Amino acid sequence: MNLQADSSKQLIQQRLNLFYVPIIAVGALLAVRLWQLQILSGAEYALLAEKNRIRTIQVVAPRGTITDRNGIPLVENRPSFNILLYRESVTNTDETAAFVTARLGISQEDFSAILSRSKALPVYHPIVIKEDVGIDDISVVEAHKQEHPELQVDREPRRLYRYGQVGAHVVGYVSEVSGDELAKGTFPGARVGSLVGKFGVERTYNDKLTGDDGSRVVLVDSLGREVGLLEEVDSVIGDNLQLTLDLELQTTAQSLLEGKVGAIVAMDPINGEILALASSPSFDPNNFSTRISPEAWNQLVNDPDRPLQNRAIQNAYPPGSIFKVIMAEAGLDEGLVDDNTRVFCRGSAFFYNREFHCSAKQGHGSVGIEDAIARSCNIFFYELGRRLGISRIAEHAQALGLGTKTGIDLPGERSGLMPSPEWKQRTRGVKWYVGETISVSIGQGAVTTTPIQMLRAIACIASGGRLTTPHVLLRAEGVKDESQFRTEQSALIDPEAMSTIRAGMWQSVNNWGTGRSAAIPGLDICGKTGTVQVIGAERKKELDGNLPALEDHSWFVGFASRDTPEIAVAAFIEHGGKGGITAAPLAREVFRVYFARKQSPVLITKAAPAGSGGRP
Amino acid sequence: MKVSRRFLLSFDWVWFLALLGLAGTGLLAIWSTTVGTSLESYLGRQVVYLCVALVAFLILLYFDYHLYSDYIILAYISGVALLTLVLVIGRTVHNNKSWINLGGRAFQPSELVKIVVIVALAKYFSESDSEDLDLRELITGGLIVLVPMILVILQGDLGTAVTFVPIYAALSVIAGLRRKHILVFLLAGALVIPAGWMMLKDYQKNRIQTVFDPSNDARHVGYQTIQSKIAVGSGRFLGKGFRQGSQGQLGFLPARHTDFVFASWAEERGFAGSVAVLGLFILVALRLLRAAREAKDKVGTLICAGVLSLYWFHVTINVGMALGLLPIAGIPLPFVTAGGSSLISSFAGMGICMNIRMRRYIN
């Protein structure tokens, strides 16, 4: 070897030493990086890996079922399917939007609206983009699982209101919880998209009816497809409720109101159990069990007859002549009248220099208190009102529950109004005129009551002074809990007064009084009619007298039977005309069905749903 | 030609077993991530490729390496012709038209051409009799590398094309680089890199940009980097175990048996397994360096240095990418990544270097 080759070789060796730099440097760098990722941040990345692969799916619990008092199901659940969008699995928003609009028939605007509404939700939270879908939509989603793993079909139990409009105001409806309600915490445990009770029993007993949601913890692959089940917590159905309603009576009441605007309520006067509560016009709560379409909602809200209003508890009307029952109680109790008191009615009379008329132009002649109730003589009660004065009238009316909420377990109850001089001074800043007392004496003027209130007051008199809390819940999950529904023994009413009033009401129905069209031979029905002037008689003549909006309101309240009261009924028809003509026959029909079934329960129950079907 | 006893004794078993260890790592990782899925056929194929690669290794070992360097011009011309052919009849896979059909299997000639280029450049530089290269030699050498490199760029396979650069750089340095030439290179680099950046396709720019901000564009390129880091990190010290890596098994990790196979391994084998494999890679690198140092002649040294630079560049880029340190580039991990072209060419390169090592005493 020569020298030159030697030194060249040495040079090359030196240059080769440079290779140690990248080998050691890169080796060390990669090792440190591995240490950093796997040891220092290992726990953190392990958590991220878990989050990648684990998806928790909420399983909505079915709400409890609702039955009538005989166990006939009124509200149940049916399976339904929704299409969910898992936003975290969306790879291309435009593609998803195009697919959804083209294949699932969701408009571009709706889809954008749904997306922007859900912006506040965490991205792993799936959102419902179409609900209660049919087999067509399910097939589309299932067939495109590979291309669109972000879309999934999900089961959700949905409310089924078996009898539609019948009892809708009692059972109520469910719909999607609003942002406001979420913010206020109205429904504890509700999440965005939850269906909650908004009305009726669904609202009042929402907490009981709501079950415990379950969950499924599943393993998903990178496309969001389920590849395994890690954990499953079954959902628990909510409490099943048994209502006090009697389906047959409820159906009767609802059909009696067909084409009318008003309410019929039937109640057990002893314990306050509501046997039927119908309001008309009604609505079909099944329309709400999906997130209701805006058009359908607007139609319901803008309907001039306001079908969503429960007229039995949410509307207060002047009681008209049925208020005379309250007057009689006050007068008898205060000792201002007794069975021997007689007033001569000649069709009209002057009080405080003003002429007041009776319903009978020619007058009732000499009337005692029973007669005055039976024939609804105004003059007798004008005189009684003059003697009592407004304060004592108000005191007795309030003791019978007028002007305050009854506490029925349905939402939205109104209190009505029992006017007094203090009330007028406070709200209007004007003194009470004694002439107003005369108007109030026959249930006109400022006094207003809800049908349920009036029914409760009459039931109190019927039952010997039991002021009940009307209620629709009989048992929750098989357990009867009466403690929440108070029944007070009213000390104000003495037994003698009550028997006098009952006698007057009996005569009204059974002895050619104003309530005779409520009579059923063989039954001791007691009742009182009411006809509420919407507008003064002269003024009515000036305007077109045939306008339905100017017709009188029609009332009837009653109970049966006289000596063993077991059912009290209130019927009220807006602009229905005379109480004895319009409302009383409706109440009679309710009594008839109730007592007919009592005699032959099987026959009637079978006949009711079958209608006029063939006979053997 | 006679295979002497002394020749057989000089076979470096540690080196060879390290290579088998890496190939075994690859088989395990491929088994774990593909069996039972639609990618299942990869495992059987990899076994076949490994057999082919070992045969190639032994054949290349058998003949004196001077045979290869003396006739390299023929291999070089064939290689360039093959690359040109690919451009005409090649198949496009993932934006790259660098594959041709070979008996029904896609084959990437560029992988083998790299080895040819190493030998060709080593042969050319070894004929220089001065201590360093003059400008003419530097330019001629550059052209030897540039012709196939441009063909590969034309195929659209930028990742493979870039691997020619360390070959040229390493061999130039070993053969001797004058100071002024270094300055010229740096200057040229400063000019070429920005121009090259502008020539890059959008997806390529995107890959580079997202290294610096992976959360940007999380669903696509950055997504892959993040998922790879999650896979590696979640392996922690001992790993999740065979077929237990959720990132790889459930498809969160992209290219889990090919470009990101290291991340799959790291997830299931943890820090311990990752460092062991890294150790094997370093061991092989040191063996290559020793082969270069102890080679009998300059061409042997240069070939070993070239293979070392190519090999180490692959390891650095691929593992660096899996660990979220470098841009995502379709550069395979030698011996481990599923795929025949890379495995065979890696073993071929090692075969020639082992050949050089074993003949260091033979005159």
pLDDT tens digits for range A256-283: 999 999 999 999 999 999 999 999 899 9
Type of residue at A453 = Q
d(CA B333, CA B310) in angstroms, rounded, equals 11
Most confident of A333-337, A587-591, B255-259: A587-591
Number of Cβ pairs < 8 A linking chain A and chain B: 126
User: In chain A, what percentage of residues exceed pLDDT 90?
Assistant: 50
Whether A303 and A273 have beta carbons less than 8 Å apart is answered as no
Of A16, A46, A50, the CB nearest to B292: A16
Per the document, the length of chain A is 616
Question: Minimal Cα–Cα distance from B18 to chain A, Å?
Answer: 16
Give the residue on B whose Cα is nearest the Cα of A8: B131
Look at residue A493 and tell me whether its pLDDT is greater than 90.
no
Look at residue B51 and tell me whether its pLDDT is greater than 90.
yes
Task: Give the best residue of B130, B246, B265, B325 to mutate against chain A (max A CB count within 10 A).
Answer: B246
Contact (CB<8Å) A52/B250? yes
Give the residue on A whose Cα is nearest the Cα of B291: A16
pLDDT of residue B157: 78
Whether A175 and A198 have beta carbons less than 8 Å apart is answered as yes
Answer with the residue of higher pLDDT: B71 or B91. B71
pLDDT band at A145 (very low <50, low <70, confident <90, very high): confident
Question: Minimal Cα–Cα distance from B126 to chain A, Å?
Answer: 11
Of B227, B232, B251, the CB nearest to A37: B232
Chain B residue numbers touching A50 (CB-CB < 8 A): 246
Whether A456 and A413 have beta carbons less than 8 Å apart is answered as no
Chain B residue numbers touching A228 (CB-CB < 8 A): none
pTM above 0.80, yes or no: no
A229 in contact with chain B, both atoms CB, cutoff 8 A: no
pLDDT of residue A406: 93
Classify each residue of A142-153 as buried b or exposed e, where b means 16 or more C-beta atoms within 10 Å of its C-beta: eeeeeebbbbbb
Chain A residue numbers touching B234 (CB-CB < 8 A): 42, 45-46, 48-49
Q: Over chain B, what is the mean pLDDT?
A: 87
pLDDT band at A223 (very low <50, low <70, confident <90, very high): low
d(CA A178, CA A180) in angstroms, rounded, equals 5
Look at residue A492 and tell me whether its pLDDT is greater than 70.
no
Looking only at the bridges linking them, the beta strands covering A173-176 and A567-573 are: unpaired
Look at residue A602 and tell me whether its pLDDT is greater than 60.
no
Mean pLDDT for the stretch of residues B253-280: 93
For residue A450, how far is the Cα from the chain centroid? 16
Answer with the residue of higher pLDDT: B235 or A182. B235
Instruction: State whether the Cα torsion A107-A109-A115-A117 is positive or negative.
Output: negative
d(CA A470, CA A487) in angstroms, rounded, equals 9
Contact (CB<8Å) A33/B274? no
Which pair of tokens denotes residue B8? 């057989």
Whether B113 and B75 have beta carbons less than 8 Å apart is answered as no
pLDDT band at A616 (very low <50, low <70, confident <90, very high): very low
CA dihedral A469, A475, A476, A482 (to 10 degrees): 40
Contact (CB<8Å) B319/A91? no
Q: Over chain A, what is the mean pLDDT?
A: 86
pLDDT tens digits for range A96-130: 889 989 888 888 888 888 888 777 776 667 888 88
Q: What is the DSSP letter of A513?
A: S
User: In chain B, what percentage of residues exceed pLDDT 70?
Assistant: 90
Of A7, A26, A221, the CB nearest to B251: A221
Look at residue A227 and tell me whether its pLDDT is greater than 80.
no
Q: For chain A, give every domain's residue range.
A: 55-243, 247-295+311-609
Of A12, A43, A44, the CB nearest to B174: A12
Query: Inter-axis angle of helices A247-256 and A584-599, to 10 degrees?
Result: 150
pLDDT of residue B71: 93
d(CA A315, CA A258) in angstroms, rounded, equals 19
pLDDT of residue A146: 78
Q: What is the DSSP letter of A83?
A: E
d(CA A306, CA A310) in angstroms, rounded, equals 9
Task: Give the best residue of A6, A12, A230 to mutate against chain B (max B CB count within 10 A).
Answer: A12
Which stretches within A335-475 are classed as H helix?
A: 369-374, 378-399, 421-428, 434-441, 451-462
pLDDT band at A606 (very low <50, low <70, confident <90, very high): very low
Look at residue B53 and tell me whether its pLDDT is greater than 90.
yes
d(CA A234, CA A214) in angstroms, rounded, equals 5
pLDDT of residue B193: 80
Most confident of A19-28, A138-147, A459-468: A19-28
pLDDT of residue A605: 42
Look at residue A609 and tell me whether its pLDDT is greater than 60.
no
Type of residue at A589 = E
Mean pLDDT for the stretch of residues A497-510: 92
Identify the weakest region by mean pLDDT among A9-18, A141-150, A385-394.
Answer: A141-150
Identify any residues that bridge with A216 across adjacent strands, giving them in sequence order. Answer: A57, A232
Q: What are phi and psi of B25, to 5 degrees?
A: -55, -45
d(CA B130, CA B112) in angstroms, rounded, equals 30
Contact (CB<8Å) A41/B233? yes
- CATH fold of A55-243 reads Penicillin-binding protein 2a (Domain 2) (3.90.1310)
Look at residue B234 and tell me whether its pLDDT is greater than 50.
yes
Q: How far is CA A255 from CA A172, A248, A260, A581, B217, in A?
A: 18, 11, 10, 18, 64
Contact (CB<8Å) B250/A219? yes
Answer with the residue of higher pLDDT: A427 or B209. A427
**What is the three-class DSSP state of B227?**
helix
Q: Which residues of A are catalytic?
A: 321
pLDDT band at B94 (very low <50, low <70, confident <90, very high): low
Contact (CB<8Å) A38/B274? yes
pLDDT tens digits for range B245-265: 888 888 888 888 888 999 999
Answer with the residue of higher pLDDT: B363 or B173. B173
Contact (CB<8Å) A35/B312? no
d(CA B9, CA B50) in angstroms, rounded, equals 24
B-facing residues of A in 12-31 (CB < 8 A) are 12-13, 15-16, 18-20, 22-23, 26-27, 29-31
- In a 10 Å sphere around its CB, with 0-12 CB exposed, 13-18 middle and 19+ buried, how is residue A231 labelled? exposed
pLDDT of residue A610: 33
Question: Minimal Cα–Cα distance from A32 to chain B, Å?
Answer: 10
pLDDT of residue A90: 81
User: In chain A, what percentage of residues exceed pLDDT 70?
Assistant: 91
Give the residue on B whose Cα is nearest the Cα of A11: B131
Identify the weakest region by mean pLDDT among A329-333, B105-109, B252-256.
Answer: B105-109
Q: Which CATH code is given to the segment(s) A247-295+311-609?
A: 3.40.710.10
CA dihedral B305, B306, B307, B310 (to 10 degrees): 120
